[in-house]
Structure 1
Amino acid sequence: MKEPNDWFMMQRVGPDGTLNMDAVREARQQAMFLRNQPSELDEVWEFEGPTNIGGRITGMAVHPSQPNTFYAAGAIGGVFKSIDDGHTFEPIFDEDFAQSGGAIAIDPVDPNKIWYASGEANSSGDSYPGNGIYLSTNAGETWEHKGLPESYHIGRIVIDPTDSDRIFVAVMGKLFGTNPDRGVYRTLNGGDDWEQVLFINDTTGCIDIEINPNFPDSVFAVMWQRYRNPAERSVSGPNSGLWRSIDGGDNWDRLTNGLPTGDNVGRGSLAIAPTSPDFLVLTHTDHPGYFIGGWKTDDGGDSWEDMDGLDPYGHDIYNSFGWYFGESIIEPSAMNTIYIGGLYMYKSTTLGDTWEQVFDWCHVDHHAFNINPNDPAKIISGHDGGVNVSYDRGDHSTRFSSLAATQFYAITHDPSIPHRLYGGTQDNGTMRTTDGSIDNWDYLYGGDGFYCLVDPRDSDVIYICMQWGGIRRTLDGGNNWDSIGWDMSGDRTNWMTPYIFDPHNYDRLYYGTYRVWGTTNRGNSWNDISPDLTDGDDPGGLTYGTITSLSASPVEPGLILVGTDDANVWYTDDFGGDWTRIDQELPDIWVSRVATHPDSANVFFVALSGHRISEPQPHLYRSDDYGQTWHAIVGETPETMLPDGPINDVIIDPDDTALIYVATDFGVFASMDYGQSWGELGEGLPMSAVFDIDFIASQRRLIAGTHGRSMYSIGLGELEVEKSPRELPVSERMFLTSYPNPFNGTSTIRMSVPVAQSVDVQVFDLLGRQVAVISQNQRIPAGISEWSWTAQTDAGISLASGTYIVVATTDSQQISRRVQLVK
């Protein structure tokens, strides 16, 4: 049985188990403020991929008259739009941090009106709360916030087909805790005002809505009672069930004739037949999430009968975590054809009497479907691996390989071959690119992927980790894998279990459970080198009683720094012989990352997760005396302060230790003065949570693993021996950027030089062959110069999709920038 993994939310809520949305909004506002400020750190982020892996899709809407145009809502990636039947996708919701997608709908009368509800409702371990509902009136070019800021999580949007100003929204409310802002909401004036028209109690929300297209005053709402606090969780309750209104939402009655009732009724999924709307189908789960049955009605909901065949293979179609699924759909032209999504997708062509599995060889976990009303054989499915399309009612399907929506938990690179990037992801395993391309990443290992390491001495020696600490090692580049964690089996482990190399001996690794384990033979055997460094197991509480982060000093052998989910920080300076606790001056908040200083053994850094309850709460600290005293380093003025929210990673630049980089739920920020002031790092990084960053020393590049928009990198510039970048004004530096990147058509190349000089600008492929000359011995003035490149050779031949290198050469230096051509 798979329980709701609360790892993501447990580290972000307060000690009372609730999430302070005011604190979340204020942190978002500060991030937006920093994003809009000029910065000396003005390099441009470059997309690294993957596009061929995808990520969780939670909503789907297809243009009613242009079926090749559709919109997909990402779990934490915002809104993606395709106008070529999924061959390419463009992110179109980057103006706001409400990236968690709950639902999306197109106005049936004016398809330029797109409604987007933020806040995924699937109760997954990484479901960010949203900020309400948004409207675009120009097919996604711009967006306007249209209310419901306290909705947290939204399951569905339905629009009256006869009156586009009347819209119903299924609001689930808080995932952690209770709140009254849940149930069914209705607007009669296009979102200017909203009314809560169905409310049961502060633990019961609405997860699904359907409207009768022939009689739009007939509205059906699936209510779901769920509750989570530090001591208990429940995904069912007596108020879960189906409700109906026949007067447009003014009054509601519960439908029970033939339907389940009682404490053990959980999430439901509803579908209505467009051409015969008296026919509906309904499924339900229980607590903890098993499938309990499916029902159908042919009289508009007055009476229901079992669909006994909806368990075609004798197992649970939701695989014990039905709180994660909620999509059913009936073919527009044939009500006998029904599709229901769960771990797999199922189809019935017999009004629910018999079922078969469809969309074979497709990624599991189906969340969002659409059937083309003019071509019902065409079905689009959104799942944990992106989007698949079938042109034969699910018998065969093809996955679109152009969706940059991968949800990275952790990332790294191969120090010997730095363009080889690695990452562990949500439900897409551990993956890598071997040649630096964005569209040919390949899987190394399955499950959920987390931290991964590559031995700097041998690129064939790779370590990966799955959920709850399942560590594996390969000695042949990934062809064969060995489990090397048997010695630690039985220990409490974190969902994202940390392990690291010893920087002085790469045969030595450290692994954190509730205690620290060490190996000196690359994992063949392990020994525990610490006592329990946590406060112990806390069943039902907000911590696991586990280690969350490890760091080994590159200066002093044997010095290891440890952080835990219950706010403990320890260190040892003798390989674990003795341990000292050093968190007495730190807040009682989940430790997300610890870091040792590149040059000074006595300097430690601690990053914290969590949102404040009331007063502002620093999330980044430094100690200069082995942890005896701590100093908040989040900025000294309101204009230069870090967002007051979760920090997921921290890196100190080894070439200039006054430079600090942090990954947060709101992007990547940098300080050039040891934490006294902060600004957004670079330009062009999507508004997405960044869970992990990694420093590529040989290239002076930083890579960022977003949790919903794949991976990006940024050049940090060459450092002069006598003068660091923080001492060098922007006016004295030389920069080379390209925009957009990736691009499809024309790329604008910009170069900034401090004084007038001659420059050559050329384009090379990855084999080092020159493919184009953009500028040759051209005299350019001080400041910014621009060129447009149309992805053609000098002979006018169009180039194929791929990675190219733009190189600018002056009398004094040469700089380069990678660009990605995507067709």
Structure 2
Amino acid sequence: MVGPRRLRSRFVRVVGIVAVVVFAGGMLTSATAQVIGPEEADHDADSGQVEEDEDDGGPQAPVDFLNDRFTSFQDVTDDQVEQAVAQAATFGENGNTWRLVGPSNIGGRVTGLVVDPRRPNTIYVAASGGGVWRSTDAAATFQPAWPSGQTQTLGSLAMGRDGTLWAGTGEANPSGGGLTYFGNGVYRSTDGGRSWDNWGLTRSGSIGAILTDPVDSRRVYVAATGNLSGTARQRGIYRLADNGRDWRLVLPTPNNTTGGVDLAMDPTNHNRIYAVLWDHQRNNGARVYGGVGSGLFRSDNAGETWTRLENVIGTAPTDQAGTGLRSDASLGRIGVVVAPNDPNRVYVVSATQYGPDKGFYVSNDGGTTFTPSGHAGGSSGYAWWFGRLWVDPKDENHLYDADVNLRESTDGGVTWHVSAGVHADQHAMQWDPNQPGRIYLGNDGGVYHSDTNGTSTSWVHATYEPFNQSYHLAVARDDPTRLATGLQDNGSVRTWTATTPPGDLTQWNAYGGGDGHEVLIDPTNHNTYYECSQVGSCRRHQDMDGTSMTINLGARHSTRTTTDAPIVLDPTNPAVVYFGGNVLDRSTDFGNNFTQISPPGDFLTGPVPPKEDDKGPFYANEYATITWIAPAKTDPNTIYLGTDTGRLWRTNDLGAHWTEFTGKGLPTRWVNAIVVDPTDARHVFVAFSGYREGDLAANIWETENGGRSWDNISGRLPNGPVEMLTYDQPRRRLYAATDLGVFVNRDGRSSWRRVGRGLPNTSVLDIKITGDGRTLYAATFGRSVWSVRIDD
């Protein structure tokens, strides 16, 4: 058995690995049912066998709130991840204190939500990269209920009948762009989130669901999902045993790409449990979100044995494979729910391996048999992003399905419509037992509530929820309060409008939709600025005379463009705009027209490797692309660029000729960032990320001779992804934004220090220095934007 243990590793960002592992065969099946017994050991993800784990040593001391990997199938272990975290901890905190800037009025992805039945108007939510938050005013405002110094990545949340909060770290939702974060197990709080104990399963990667027993508060079930692109020793369905101190693996997985993702319980029989296993994986470019390990199971003896539920009478219209819930390569994510007022009514929704709905099914005999019903999902095709159903506790025919839009049925799933008035991408919902007709909802836009049982347009959005996920950040050169950031599923937002200058920096407003990615502000005229949504859909905005004009950028010449496509302004002439796909485009008129300046085809990137070629309908042309572009300020003809295939290039004549540095001592890894010294075009820093390939090294390299030779200046920098670099040339300081904090190099070589105090322990994806050189801004992926004063 596996018991509680102290936190020793934080989340790890995963975007992919080199190879997709395809497994033959599947779960043992018969014409009727499969019975699976429990295991009392960890599941070894590499061998498919079970092995005894070390003694976790019982519950650990609580983490006082007031005091405040990725692992490949080949070489990275849980211990290596823990070593990286321990390495980061040795830096400590020093210097000035980080300050939350904003936004706080928008809200980010919510992965879990529970209502406190003992306290009116009180709920708790788990934010994807933002920890646990508590509201005592019916979801109008939220305050932290999770220590900022602990990992902020959350995948699930539950509350026991005794009021104990259970939080599962590591998000199980694999976003299309690949930003899936992993955690370090399950936490428990008995004082409303003021302090937390780490309660084990530290090697589970991510937690898809937690289920508490309403009869025995010491009995808790956890769906351990594992790592999307690497190993995780603890995968499957676990049950808390031994008087609530140890975890027992009761439903193991058949291969090392399968984990647990959903749980449900018969409200009248606490020994009847429903569980979902999900077979899914991704690498650098390919996503396969289904497989033979996926399946729906039921236990009638509290998890001692399990029966596979696959008896579907008929075929759903959306099930092109015609395999229903049987083990099949086309079976993707599954969601299951039991009607609280009718335990025989069970609803199931399933997806295919590439995203479209596979089928929606209804059972009136507790899951023994199912029949297909209406089309629960919309037409988004992203069903792997959701996999959740919720049923009205007073009406078994009133239910909701998670999709891009919130889908509602009032006739038991025969017909569906949209409950409008909420943000896209639904993930969490619960009815309030203290307030008839009140429902709380969590999605990619934060938290909502309805007091009329979820009727369309009745939803009210929270007003204070500072847990946004930023991809990129821009700061006006002449005004340190004029900020813009691109947010996951919340577009691009800014601190000003066309008619008003920046004021309250907590209140940001939108100027671009979709997933907000790259944002730019013209350094010579802050009334000209840019924003991009996914795959390089970019626009230029211009404020003038109290109005704002939006211009779509001109046609570009790439046939492949990554989700987070790079667009940069020339540092000497802001009318010159560069854009990267699989070729490099250049504009000399602020992006109205572009000219291709690199050779055609795959010259810069190389072709898409067959094993990294995505076969789904959405992402087939988003790999083997340029990921960063760095024009030199002192030489307008010199440009450096890098690719996701690990290639690094320089041109000294605006693209007529190219020099490649790949294979000359540098790692062949995804290029995350390039910085050229503004006073010397030969002096360059490059950040590589190998997490997608099972390499934990923090790779930062420097050249002082234009690339003839390179030095690894990573030094003692903690081993974790380096997301962004920025160079303070007057002080000769290099800043690195990482998944383990923000660090500064002061001597140009290998001496690194942590920057500031009090920055929440979540990934930092971008950093910017203000024009006056006095402030450093950090854009986090879960806790919004922060700032710290820079001392000389």
What TM-score bracket applies, with the shorter chain setting the length?
Answer: 0.7 to 0.9
Residue number in structure 2 paired with 1:8: 15
Residue 647 of structure 2 is aligned to residue 568 of structure 1: yes
Note the residue ranges of structure 1 that are not aligned, 5 or more in a row. Answer: 1-5, 636-640, 718-724, 726-823
2:296 to 228, 242, 254: 242
Residue number in structure 2 paired with 1:648: 723
Q: Where do 1:129-140 residues align within 5 Å?
A: 129-140=182-193
Instruction: Name the structure, 1 or 2, with higher relative contact order (CA <8 Å, separation 6+).
Output: 2
Contact 2:71 2:231 in 1 (8 A): no
Residue number in structure 2 paired with 1:522: 590
Q: Deviations over 1:495-514 (max 9, x none)?
A: 21112111111111222222
What's the TM-score once normalised by structure 1's chain length?
A: 0.80
Deviation at 1:173, TM superposition (A): 1.7
What is the letter of the counterpart of residue 690 of structure 2? G
Residue number in structure 2 paired with 1:457: 524
Q: Where do 1:241-320 residues align within 5 Å?
A: 241-258=295-312, 260-262=324-326, 263=328, 264-308=330-374, 310-311=375-376, 316-317=377-378, 319-320=380-381
Q: 1:350 to 1:545 in 2, by over 3 A?
A: closer
Q: RMSD of the TM alignment (CA)?
A: 2.4
Residue number in structure 2 paired with 1:357: 418
Deviation at 1:180, TM superposition (A): 5.9
Q: Where do 1:36-55 residues align within 5 Å?
A: 36-37=92-93, 39=94, 42-55=95-108
Q: 1:102 to 1:15 in 2, by over 3 A?
A: closer
Residue number in structure 2 paired with 1:492: 560
Cα distance in 1 for partners of 2:694, 2:278 equals: 30
Contact 1:116 1:135 in 2 (8 A): yes
Cα distance in 2 for partners of 1:612, 1:226 equals: 16
Cα distance in 1 for partners of 2:404, 2:383 equals: 9
Contact 1:332 1:373 in 2 (8 A): no
Cα distance in 2 for partners of 1:258, 1:393 equals: 31
Deviation at 1:162, TM superposition (A): 1.0
Deviation at 1:232, TM superposition (A): 5.5
Cα distance in 2 for partners of 1:99, 1:306 equals: 39
Residue number in structure 2 paired with 1:817: none
Percent of aligned pairs with the same amino acid: 35
Count of residues in correspondence between the two structures? 694
Q: Deviations over 1:458-479 (max 9, x none)?
A: 2332222221122222234683
Residue 400 of structure 2 is aligned to residue 339 of structure 1: yes
Residue 446 of structure 2 is aligned to residue 386 of structure 1: yes
Deviation at 1:306, TM superposition (A): 3.1
Deviation at 1:523, TM superposition (A): 1.6
Residue number in structure 1 paired with 2:433: 373
Comparing 382-391 with 451-460, greater Cα deviation is found at 451-460
Q: 1:504 to 1:178 in 2, by over 3 A?
A: closer
Residue number in structure 2 paired with 1:322: 383
Residue 486 of structure 2 is aligned to residue 417 of structure 1: no
Cα distance in 1 for partners of 2:669, 2:244 equals: 39
Residue number in structure 1 paired with 2:55: none
Cα distance in 1 for partners of 2:682, 2:726 equals: 16
Residue number in structure 1 paired with 2:576: 508
Comparing 399-408 with 566-575, greater Cα deviation is found at 566-575
Q: 1:713 to 1:215 in 2, by over 3 A?
A: same
Deviation at 1:17, TM superposition (A): 8.0
Cα distance in 1 for partners of 2:358, 2:559 equals: 34
Deviation at 1:701, TM superposition (A): 1.1
Cα distance in 1 for partners of 2:292, 2:425 equals: 27
What is the letter of the counterpart of residue 8 of structure 1? V
What is the letter of the counterpart of residue 570 of structure 1? W
Q: Deviations over 1:244-264 (max 9, x none)?
A: 111111011112333623423
Residue number in structure 2 paired with 1:87: 140
Residue number in structure 1 paired with 2:777: 703
SS of equivalent to 1:375: coil
Residue 713 of structure 2 is aligned to residue 633 of structure 1: yes
Q: Where do 1:356-755 residues align within 5 Å?
A: 356-358=417-419, 360-395=420-455, 396-434=458-496, 435-476=502-543, 479-488=548-557, 490-531=558-599, 532-541=603-612, 544-583=623-662, 584-611=664-691, 617-635=697-715, 641-657=716-732, 659-698=733-772, 700-717=774-791, 725=792
Q: Deviations over 1:217-276 (max 9, x none)?
A: 111112222243568543233443321111111011112333623423321111122233
Contact 1:10 1:17 in 2 (8 A): no
SS of equivalent to 1:351: coil
Q: Deviations over 1:153-184 (max 9, x none)?
A: 22110111111111111122221256563221
What is the letter of the counterpart of residue 25 of structure 1? E
Residue number in structure 2 paired with 1:207: 261
SS of equivalent to 1:620: strand
Cα distance in 1 for partners of 2:691, 2:521 equals: 34
SS of equivalent to 2:79: helix
Contact 2:284 2:692 in 1 (8 A): no
Deviation at 1:430, TM superposition (A): 0.9
SS of equivalent to 1:135: strand
What is the letter of the counterpart of residue 120 of structure 1? E
Deviation at 1:397, TM superposition (A): 0.6
Cα distance in 2 for partners of 1:516, 1:612 equals: 24
Q: Deviations over 1:321-372 (max 9, x none)?
A: 10000221222233232222211122233333333321x1210100000111
Comparing 556-565 with 89-98, greater Cα deviation is found at 89-98
Q: 1:548 to 1:21 in 2, by over 3 A?
A: farther
What is the letter of the counterpart of residue 398 of structure 2? T
Deviation at 1:691, TM superposition (A): 0.5
Contact 2:16 2:693 in 1 (8 A): no
What is the letter of the counterpart of residue 640 of structure 2? L
What is the letter of the counterpart of residue 535 of structure 1? G
SS of equivalent to 1:423: strand
SS of equivalent to 1:278: strand
Q: 1:233 to 1:441 in 2, by over 3 A?
A: closer
Cα distance in 2 for partners of 1:270, 1:455 equals: 50
Residue number in structure 1 paired with 2:64: none
SS of equivalent to 1:479: strand
Residue number in structure 1 paired with 2:317: none
Cα distance in 1 for partners of 2:703, 2:556 equals: 34
Contact 2:168 2:186 in 1 (8 A): yes
Q: 1:231 to 1:704 in 2, by over 3 A?
A: closer
Residue number in structure 1 paired with 2:23: none
1:160 to 193, 203, 213: 213
Cα distance in 2 for partners of 1:546, 1:19 equals: 26
Q: 1:550 to 1:7 in 2, by over 3 A?
A: farther
Contact 1:147 1:191 in 2 (8 A): no
Residue 67 of structure 2 is aligned to residue 60 of structure 1: no
Q: 1:454 to 1:614 in 2, by over 3 A?
A: closer
Deviation at 1:697, TM superposition (A): 1.8
Q: Deviations over 1:614-649 (max 9, x none)?
A: 8873411111111111112223xxxxx211111011
Deviation at 1:612, TM superposition (A): 9.4
Contact 2:480 2:771 in 1 (8 A): no
Deviation at 1:554, TM superposition (A): 2.3
Cα distance in 1 for partners of 2:334, 2:293 equals: 12
